[in-house]
Amino acid sequence: MILIATIFVWFVMNIDFGRYQLSVLSSAINSFRAEKLGGG
């Protein structure tokens, strides 16, 4: 039930923010990769 609610909230946020969320997501992925490549 919690998983369904989480997916629903993500879906609504995705509609609301659009490109903004996409840029935040990509920057989060980039920082994660940099942290992983940097050895933590």
Task: Give 1-40 pLDDT, tens digit per residue.
Answer: 889 999 888 887 777 666 777 788 889 889 988 888 876 6
Phi, psi of 38 (to 5 degrees): -75, -5
Res 9: pLDDT: 85
The reported pLDDT for the residue numbered 3 is 92
39 is written with which tokens? 């050895």
pLDDT for res 22: 79
The per-residue pLDDT for 16 is 67
What pLDDT is recorded for position 37? 82
Q: Where are the alpha helices (DSSP H) in 1-40?
A: 2-17, 19-37
